[in-house]
Each structure stands twice: as structure tokens, then as C-alpha cells.
Amino acid sequence: MKYIVCETPGKFALKDKPKPELTDGHALLKIHKVGICGTDLHAYAGNQAFFQYPRILGHELAAEVIAIGENDRGIKPGDQVIVMPYVSCGDCIACRKGKTNCCANIRVLGVHADGGMQEEIVVRNDLLIPVDGLTHEEMAIVEPLAIGAHALRRASLKPGEIVVVVGCGPIGLGLIKLAQISGARVIAIDAVASRLQFAKDVIGADHALHVSEDPVKRVAGITDDDMATAVFDATGNKKALESGIDYMAHGGRYVLVGLSKEDLVYNHPKIHAKETTLMCSRNATFEDFENVIAHLKEFPADSFITHRVHYTEMIGNFDSWLKPETNVVKAMVDFN
């Protein structure tokens, strides 16, 4: 069967290998769609944390069950399934407390273990989420949206809040829409004008501010000097991660969703004066996936997916997805 492997930074290869064999407690899946996310782009560029080469990428998956043994969940061949890509151990303190998203021994498909950029894959039964009534493309965007859903749940967002989302990539755009669905007003901030326009026109952000137009002053004006009660960074950019606190209200929450490989520095009097709640948000749980599935029809999936290619054409297109001028929001790879 065919698969695509990232052999070294900047180098993909399309190869053949034998089909995987079904083992106890696992299901054999046919991959239909694979969404491309920032993790894949960073891995290809050579700046992804927790990463080793060679690696088969892909963790935003829409799949179909080819074969599965007896299981207590009623999953059967032919079922359409989303794959939970965070393989947790079930034994560490995080898992025992239900925080499988930050398992001490976590292995994420496409990062720590080979992912779904292949025609077929074997996955543990307990990582499957059967769905009805969703297209394969909708199924493949549940995982990135669940990242945003988890961050919002971490912040205990309430209706009526004014929040800032820094970064209008796929994760940020999902945050914006899900925050609005939760009843919040959202100020989007980015350095790329086309992404801000997308956030405003397609996703429906209440305000879209470019970093060059004194966004701190603009946020103050929008909020009558209160600032935002919750700020979410979805950039992973060191400068953005360190400056996001400036948008936050006294008594507010600052949630780091984006991941940087660098050290971050904050002025302690500044964050202390605001009694800042500083938190990280990593991955997602089944609860977040289910929340997204319940609200997916409120999300503009067709517009969100801006680029579509067959897997045989992915390698030739991947470099272009790194360039802002191509206006990629979400690229989707078809394995049918």
C-alpha cells in the first residue's frame, strides 16, 4: 500500500509497504481524508518540538473501519470513524485524573508515532469515535477544532465575555467561532491581512486587528479600557506569546495554545498586578471532540478547507502551503 513519509526536514517520499495486520484490541482502518495542520508544516520545516525523523505525518483523520474484532463499543466494519490521535497510557497521574490529553507518556500519531498519511492504518479500538451524518471533510476537521474547544474549556469561558484570539490560522479560527458559539464577543489579531479578512468575513470575528495598528490601544477602545477577560495565543510565536498579556484585563486568564520551542519571559510585576491566571492548553479530550461534533454544522467547513489535493499530488503542493501568499487556511489530502 502507499504511504507518504517525511524522511528529513524538507523531504517527503511516496513509498510502498505491506498492508498492516489487525491485532487484538485494534481496528484496521481505511483512511479517507487527512487534514494538514501546523504540526505537519512545522515538522516539514524542521522546527516542531517533540519530533523525530523519519515520520509518517497526519493526525486529522477521517476513516472507515475495514476490520475489527469483538469490542464492547459496538463498532463494526463499515462504520465511519474519527481517530483520537493522542495515545495515552491510562496509568499516569494525568490519565488517572481524566487528563489524557497531557498524559506523561503520551504518543501523538504523526508526531511520536507514525500517523495517517497512508492508505490503511491499525489503531486501538478505544481511540475511535464513530460518527453519523458528517462528510469525510467535516470528520477530518474535528480534531483541530477540538484543540480550540479544549482551550475554551480550560478558560471556563462564559457568555458575554470579550476575548482576544491572537493568530488566525486554523486553530485560531476554530477558537474564534467556538468562542462565539459559547456566547463571547471575539477580537481577532494577526500579522497577515488576508487571514484577518478571512476571520472577519468567513468566520465572523466581531473585530479584526492587524498587529501594525496598535492592537493594545484598539482592544482598550473596544472594551472601554477593561481589556479582554480571556486571551488565547494560537501563534506559537515567541514575541506574540510574550506580549499577549498586554491585551488581558485585570483578573483575566491567558491561555497558551500555540507551542514555541523557546524560553518565554514575562515581567513579574505586570502579570502579578493583574493576578494573572496563566495556563497552557494541550491537545484535547473525548469531551472536546464530542462538543465539536455537536456544533460542527454551525461551522463553515467548506470555506475553512481552502486547498484540496489527492495524496499523489501532495508532495508537489506541500511547499506552497508554507507561504502566506497562497492563502492556505486548511489543506486536505484525499486518500480515496
Are 84 and 140 a contacting pair, CB within 8 Å?
no
For residue 41, being part of any structural domain is answered with yes
Q: Are residues 137 and 160 in the same domain?
A: no
pTM of the shown model: 0.94
Q: Are residues 248 and 267 in the same domain?
A: yes
pLDDT in the model for residue 197: 96
**CATH number for the domain harbouring residue 54:** 3.90.180.10
Are 292 and 142 a contacting pair, CB within 8 Å?
yes
pLDDT in the model for residue 324: 83
User: Tens of pLDDT along 165-208?
Assistant: 999 999 999 999 999 999 999 999 999 999 999 999 999 999 99
DSSP assigned state of 94: H
- Which residue type occupies 48? Q
For residue 285, being part of any structural domain is answered with no
pLDDT in the model for residue 100: 96
Torsion of CA 302, 305, 310, 311, to 10 degrees: -140
pLDDT in the model for residue 286: 96
Angstrom distance (rounded) from CA 292 to CA 96: 24
Q: Which positions of the chain have pLDDT values less than 70?
A: 49-50
Q: Are residues 274 and 188 in the same domain?
A: yes
What phi and psi, each to the nearest 5 degrees, are found at residue 217? -65, -40
For residue 294, being part of any structural domain is answered with no
**CATH number for the domain harbouring residue 172:** 3.40.50.720
For residue 293, being part of any structural domain is answered with no
For residue 162, being part of any structural domain is answered with yes
Q: Are residues 11 and 135 in the same domain?
A: yes
pLDDT in the model for residue 47: 77
For residue 290, being part of any structural domain is answered with no
Which of 174, 142, 149 lies closest to 33, judged by CA?
Answer: 142
Angstrom distance (rounded) from CA 281 to CA 147: 8
pLDDT in the model for residue 12: 96
pLDDT in the model for residue 45: 87
For residue 85, being part of any structural domain is answered with yes
Q: Are residues 135 and 235 in the same domain?
A: no
pLDDT in the model for residue 51: 80
DSSP per-residue letters across 46-92: T--TT--SSB----EEEEEEEEE---TT---TT-EEEE--EE--S-S
Q: Are residues 262 and 160 in the same domain?
A: yes
pLDDT in the model for residue 114: 95
Q: Are residues 226 and 135 in the same domain?
A: no
Q: Are residues 170 and 101 in the same domain?
A: no
Q: Are residues 219 and 318 in the same domain?
A: no
Are 265 and 241 a contacting pair, CB within 8 Å?
no
pLDDT in the model for residue 306: 95
pLDDT in the model for residue 48: 73
Q: Are residues 124 and 11 in the same domain?
A: yes
User: Tens of pLDDT along 112-160?
Assistant: 999 999 999 999 999 999 999 999 999 999 999 999 999 999 999 999 9
Q: Are residues 194 and 308 in the same domain?
A: no
For residue 111, being part of any structural domain is answered with yes
pLDDT in the model for residue 275: 98
Quote the domain boundaries for residue 255. Answer: 148-280
Q: Are residues 27 and 51 in the same domain?
A: yes
Total tally of structural domains belonging to the chain? 2
